[in-house]
C-alpha cells in the first residue's frame, strides 16, 4: 500500500460583520465573582483589559444567525477552495462547545447535531459521509483534524471536512470582565489523503493531553456575577489566573513533544498558529518553547495574530487565522510550499493539543 499523507487542501472562514469595540464596554457595570461591584473607572478596566489580552475589537454574529449557519458558509468556501465534490466527503466533523444558541434564549440546541445540520445545508446526500460533533474546548478544531488524520491513516477515510464554529456572545455574562474576551466566528478545512509520491505536504506529528483533576473546572458554566441574578441561568466562567498558569507550564511542553516526534527543531518552524485567547499568553508560549531549546531571541514574524480585531472565538480562532494567512489576508505573513507550521491550542477540560504540519 503506498504511503499516504494527510493534507489540508482547502480552507474557508466566516467572520461576522458586527464589530464591538472596547469603548462600547465603558458604560457597563462589572462585578467580581463574589458579586461585589468593581469600583474602578470603566475606562481604566477596559484599558487594562486591552493591555493584558491585546484585544481591541471582537465580532458578534447577526441576531438571525447561529453557529451552524456560520459553519455552513465557512464549509462552502473550504470545499470550493479544495475544488472537491462535497458528495465525496467521508467525514464531516464539527467542533463546538455550546451548540446553536438562539438570540435571547438560555438553552443550547444540539438536536440534531450541528454536523448533521451542516451536512443538510450543504445538500450532501451520500449516507457514507458520516457527520458528528466533538466537544473538546477551544482545542476542538485541532482535535477534529487529529481525528481526520487517524481515519485517513487507518484507511477508513480519504476526504474529511473539519469545522470549528462558536457564538460565544450568547453565553457570556455581561457583568463579568472576562466577557470582553469572547467573540463569534467559524473556520473550516478540507483534509485529504494524498499519496506521498505526489506531495511533500501533510501532518508530520501530533500531541494531545488532558488534565482533568484539579484543572477540570478552570472553565465551567456558572451563575452571573450580578447580585441577585437568577442562579438557574448559567454563563461561561473562567478562572483566568489558573488557566494562564496552567497553560504557560504545559502548552510549550506539548509543542516540544510534537516537534520531537517528527525529529524537528524549533528553528524549523516558519509560523506558529496558536489559539487566539490572550496575546501575552501566546507570546509566553513561544518564549517558553524557545527557552526549552536554550534560545532567547525569537523571530519577529513567527506568530500571526488575529485576536486584536477578532477576539477569542474559541474553536474558530485557529482555522480562521490559518485561512487568513493562506489567502494572504494578513499582509505581514505568508506561507510557501515546504514551510513547517505548528497549530497548538489549550482550553476547557483542560485539554492541550498540537500539530506539526508541512505546507
Greatest alpha-carbon pair distance for the chain in Å reads 67
The domain defined by 4-195 carries CATH number 3.40.47.10: yes
Please give the Cα distance from 86 to 123 (Å, whole number).
9
pLDDT given at position 2: 62
Domain boundaries, the chain: 4-195, 202-358
pLDDT given at position 39: 86
Q: Is 24 helix (H, G, I), strand (E, B) or coil?
A: helix
Please give the Cα distance from 50 to 57 (Å, whole number).
9
**pTM for the structure as a whole:** 0.94
* CA 39, 45, 46, 47 torsion-angle sign: positive
- The topology (CATH level 3) of 202-358 is Peroxisomal Thiolase; Chain A, domain 1 (3.40.47)
Find the distance separating the first CA and the last CA of the chain, reported in whole Å: 24
Q: How many residues does the chain have?
A: 359
- One digit per residue, the tens of pLDDT, for the chain of length 359 reads 469 999 999 999 999 999 999 999 988 889 998 899 998 888 899 999 999 899 999 999 999 999 999 999 999 999 999 999 999 999 999 999 999 998 888 778 889 999 999 999 999 999 999 999 999 999 999 999 999 999 999 999 999 999 999 999 999 999 999 999 999 999 999 999 999 999 999 999 999 999 999 999 999 999 999 998 998 889 999 998 999 999 999 999 999 999 999 999 999 999 999 999 999 999 999 999 999 999 988 998 899 999 999 999 999 999 999 999 999 888 789 999 999 999 999 999 999 999 999 99
> Which is nearest to 180 in space by CA: 194, 167, 169?
169
Sheet holding 159-167, edge to edge: 4-14, 184-195, 159-167, 91-95, 130-134
Same fold, 4-195 and 202-358: yes
Beta bridge partners of 60: 18
Cell of 80: 470550493
pLDDT given at position 107: 79
Please give the Cα distance from 187 to 81 (Å, whole number).
13
Q: Which residue has the cell 470545499?
A: 79
Burial class (CB in 10 A: 0-12, 13-18, 19+), 152: buried
Cell of 109: 440546541
Strand 57-60, strand 108-109: pairing: unpaired
> Which is nearest to 355 in space by CA: 273, 279, 299?
273
- Helices 279-292 and 240-261 pack at an angle, to 10 degrees, of 40
Q: Which residues contact 35 (CB under 8 A, 6 or more apart)?
A: 225, 226, 227
Cell of 303: 506568530
Strand 269-274, strand 340-347: pairing: parallel
- Helix intervals (H) in the chain: 42-53, 67-82, 114-121, 140-153, 240-261, 279-292, 307-310, 317-326
Q: Which residues contact 250 (CB under 8 A, 6 or more apart)?
A: 209, 211, 346, 352
3-state secondary structure string, 96-161?
A: CCCCEECCCCCCEECCCCHHHHHHHHCCCCCCCCEEEEECCCCCHHHHHHHHHHHHHHCCCCCEEE
> pLDDT for 197-242, tens place per residue?
999 999 999 999 999 999 999 999 999 999 989 988 899 999 989 9
Q: How many Cβ atoms from other residues are within 10 Å of residue 292's Cβ?
A: 13
Cβ contact 123:76 at 8 Å: no
Exposure letters 61-94 (e unless 16+ CB within 10 A, then b) = beeebbbbbbbbbbbbbbbebbebebeebbbbbb
pLDDT given at position 1: 45
Amino acid at each position: 500500500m503506498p504511503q499516504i499523507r494527510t493534507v489540508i487542501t482547502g480552507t474557508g472562514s466566516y467572520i461576522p460583520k458586527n464589530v464591538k469595540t472596547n469603548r462600547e464596554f465603558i458604560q457597563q457595570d462589572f462585578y467580581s465573582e463574589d458579586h461585589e461591584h468593581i469600583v474602578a473607572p470603566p475606562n481604566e478596566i477596559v484599558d487594562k483589559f486591552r493591555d493584558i489580552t491585546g484585544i481591541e475589537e471582537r465580532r458578534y454574529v447577526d441576531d438571525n444567525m447561529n453557529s451552524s449557519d456560520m459553519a455552513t458558509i465557512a464549509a462552502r468556501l473550504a470545499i470550493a477552495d479544495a475544488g472537491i465534490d462535497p458528495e465525496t466527503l467521508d467525514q464531516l466533523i464539527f467542533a463546538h462547545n455550546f451548540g446553536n444558541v438562539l438570540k435571547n434564549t438560555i438553552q443550547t440546541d444540539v438536536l440534531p447535531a450541528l454536523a448533521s445540520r451542516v451536512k443538510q445545508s450543504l445538500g450532501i446526500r451520500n449516507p457514507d459521509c458520516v457527520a458528528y460533533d466533538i466537544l473538546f474546548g477551544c482545542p476542538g478544531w485541532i482535535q477534529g483534524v487529529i481525528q481526520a488524520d487517524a481515519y485517513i491513516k487507518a484507511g477508513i477515510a480519504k476526504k474529511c471536512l473539519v469545522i470549528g464554529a462558536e457564538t460565544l456572545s450568547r453565553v457570556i455574562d455581561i457583568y463579568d470582565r472576562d466577557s470582553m474576551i469572547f467573540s463569534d466566528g467559524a473556520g473550516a478545512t478540507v483534509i485529504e489523503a494524498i499519496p506521498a509520491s505526489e506531495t511533500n505536504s501533510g501532518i508530520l506529528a501530533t500531541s494531545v493531553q488532558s488534565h482533568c483533576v484539579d484543572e477540570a473546572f478552570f472553565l465551567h458554566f456558572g451563575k452571573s456575577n450580578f447580585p441577585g441574578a437568577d442562579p438557574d441561568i448559567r454563563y461561561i466562567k473562567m478562572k483566568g489566573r489558573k488557566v494562564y498558569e496552567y497553560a504557560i507550564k504545559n502548552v510549550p511542553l506539548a509543542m516540544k513533544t510534537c516537534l520531537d516526534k517528527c525529529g524537528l527543531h524549533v528553528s524549523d518552524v516558519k509560523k506558529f498558529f496558536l489559539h487566539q485567547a490572550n496575546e501575552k499568553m501566546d507570546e509566553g508560549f513561544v518564549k517558553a518553547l524557545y527557552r526549552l531549546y536554550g534560545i532567547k531571541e525569537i523571530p519577529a514574524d513567527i506568530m500571526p495574530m488575529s485576536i486584536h480585531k477578532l477576539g477569542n472565538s474559541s474553536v474558530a480562532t485557529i482555522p480562521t487565522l490559518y485561512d487568513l494567512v493562506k489567502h494572504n489576508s494578513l499582509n505581514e505573513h505568508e506561507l510557501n510550499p515546504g514551510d513547517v507550521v505548528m497549530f497548538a491550542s489549550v482550553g476547557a477540560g483542560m485539554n492541550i493539543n498540537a500539530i506539526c504540519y508541512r505546507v
